[in-house]
Amino acid sequence: MKMWSGRFSKDVNADVNDFNASIHVDFRMYKQDIQGSMAHAEMLGKCGIISIDESVKIINELKNILKDADDGKIDFSVENEDIHMNIEAILTQRLGDLGKKLHTARSRNDQVAVDIRLYMRSEIDLLMAQMVELVNIIIKKAKVTDDYVMSAYTHLQRAQPVTFAHYILAYAQMFVRDLTRLADCSKRMNFSPLGAGALATTTYPIDRHFTAELLGFDGICENSIDAVSDRDFLIEFASAGSIIMMHLSRFCEEIILWCSSEFGFITLDDAYSTGSSIMPQKKNPDIAELIRGKTGRVYGDLTALLTMMKGLALAYNKDMQEDKEAVFDVVDTLKVCIKNFIPMFDTMTIKKDNLRKSASKGFINATDCADYLVKKGLAFRDAYKITGQLVAVCEQQNKDLETLELSEYKKLSDFFENDVYDAINLDHCVEQRKVAGGPSQKTVCEQIDNLKKKLDIITIYQRKKV
């Protein structure tokens, strides 16, 4: 018999019961459900709603249930619909009528709201730790590749010379922004809905601030209707997760291109590659491709959450049961993708000579050639035109700017002297870009130092939460 069956004259249809149940999804919140229930029981005792002795007995038995669940000794039942009713049913089986007192001054509406906040707070902390590790791996690679000259691209066409370190640190910056989004999301969700009841609190003299403090929240949700109907924090998390996946997907696209024969910039470790069932020579970047593909499912989860909430009148509606499957999928997908990306990236071999060889093509020092003329006194637009004409000459003669004779330079401008070859040397081009945020070794080192400082701030923030 259902705990809520008092006004019903017949049992729920078996198919409806299976359709209505969410235990197959929300079972993973059993720790948070018990944690919230223990705080609620302690508050009931403190406020004299139940006796202190009853409160202690309930809390101790909840601890026993938690241990049994951790040890795999509990089978959750579809008959009890969800994790909340399952825990309460087990408690009542063990304590009898005393177990029935736990739900005093509480609804499943505020119960699930507190569970999901506690769960997501914990999962965000784990994700942030993974992201910090990822950024540190990128920094480690950058430190040993700050003299690996390569071409950066616009429109997937060779553009200007940078270093491999500078290139990959662009992704480190993206991931640090992702970390701040996760931290902000966690901070905004860290308010307790417990005590809001179904939607209008309760007539019992409860202490919401006490339970909020016990559960490590920064305060309470100040409107009881909003407390049980708010899922903004899940949508915000899914949005942040979608951006993380977008960044991972872009990085994976680079890796897929770089390890192709056409680029040849890197080689993936055998442990993070796969072969073909028919072509013996193949070494495929399947891990990177899978991460790129899984990005779409996270986007879909975000869309599902937004669509689920878009037409709901206040307060709680059963539609909102669908939130957990979507947000859990975001969590699981992020964790598995980051977990596999880190060692794949860490173990790949970077081919310095191939990077430099590719950079020598495509006239990526053309801007530096134009700047050379400007520094000699020519207006930039005139210098730009002359350099463009030089590129055309090089193409006609199948040469590059570094191998074109000085006589050809002088045909277009008397400003050219032998020192032009120093100005267009790729190493020189990179090292002269000393502007903050640029690719020179000095500025890359500064960028790494600043990234470390940002990571330190984020790490300190996480420690304070614990």
Note the pLDDT of residue 19.
72
- Specify whether 283 is located in the same domain as 413: no
- Specify whether 327 is located in the same domain as 416: no
In the chain, the N- to C-terminal Cα span, in Å, equals 41
The SS3 of residue 222 is: coil
- Specify whether 171 is located in the same domain as 310: yes
DSSP H/E element including 149:
strand 149-154
Q: Which of 5, 77, 260, 276 is catalytic?
A: 276
Residue 329 lies in a domain: yes
Please report, as a single letter, which amino acid is at residue 466: V
- Specify whether 258 is located in the same domain as 383: no
- Specify whether 229 is located in the same domain as 311: yes
Residue 236 lies in a domain: yes
The helix, strand and coil proportions of the chain, stated in percent and rounded to the nearest 5, come to 65, 5, 30
Note the pLDDT of residue 28.
97
Do residues 76 and 83 touch, judged by C-beta distance below 8 A? yes
- Specify whether 260 is located in the same domain as 169: yes
- Specify whether 137 is located in the same domain as 51: no
Note the pLDDT of residue 342.
98
- Specify whether 387 is located in the same domain as 349: no
CATH number at residue 192: 1.20.200.10
Residue 375 lies in a domain: yes
Q: What is the pLDDT along the chain (466 residues), one digit of tens a residue?
A: 556 456 555 566 666 666 778 899 999 999 999 999 999 999 999 999 999 999 999 999 999 999 999 999 999 999 999 999 999 999 999 999 999 999 999 999 999 999 999 999 999 999 999 999 999 999 999 999 999 999 999 999 999 999 999 999 999 999 999 999 999 999 999 999 999 999 999 999 999 999 999 999 999 999 999 999 999 999 999 999 999 999 999 999 999 999 999 999 999 999 999 988 888 888 999 999 999 999 999 999 999 999 999 999 999 999 999 999 999 999 999 999 999 999 999 999 999 999 999 999 999 999 999 999 999 999 999 999 999 999 999 999 999 999 999 999 999 999 999 999 999 999 999 999 999 999 999 999 999 999 999 999 988 766 666 5
Residue 434 lies in a domain: no
- Specify whether 264 is located in the same domain as 179: yes
Residue 7 lies in a domain: no
Residue 433 lies in a domain: no
9 is catalytic: no
Note the pLDDT of residue 4.
46
**What angle (nearest 5°) sits at the alpha carbon of residue 376, between those of residues 370 and 378?**
65
277 is catalytic: no
- Residue for token pair 């730009």: 384
- Residue for token pair 């202690």: 56
- Specify whether 195 is located in the same domain as 290: yes
Residue 10 lies in a domain: no
Q: How many angstroms separate the Cα of 430 from the Cα of each of 161, 172, 264, 390, 448?
A: 6, 20, 22, 21, 17
Closest-CA residue to 100 (of 205, 202, 3)? 3
Q: Which of 9, 155, 261, 407 is catalytic?
A: 155
217: left (phi over 0), alpha (psi -120 to 50) or beta: beta
Which residues touch 108 (CB under 8 Å, ≥6 apart)? Answer: 82, 84, 85
Number of Cβ within a 10 Å radius of residue 6: 7
- Specify whether 401 is located in the same domain as 289: no
**Which structural domain range is residue 371 located in?**
366-424
Note the pLDDT of residue 276.
83
Do residues 80 and 120 touch, judged by C-beta distance below 8 A? no
- The structural domain count of the chain equals 3
Do residues 238 and 301 touch, judged by C-beta distance below 8 A? yes
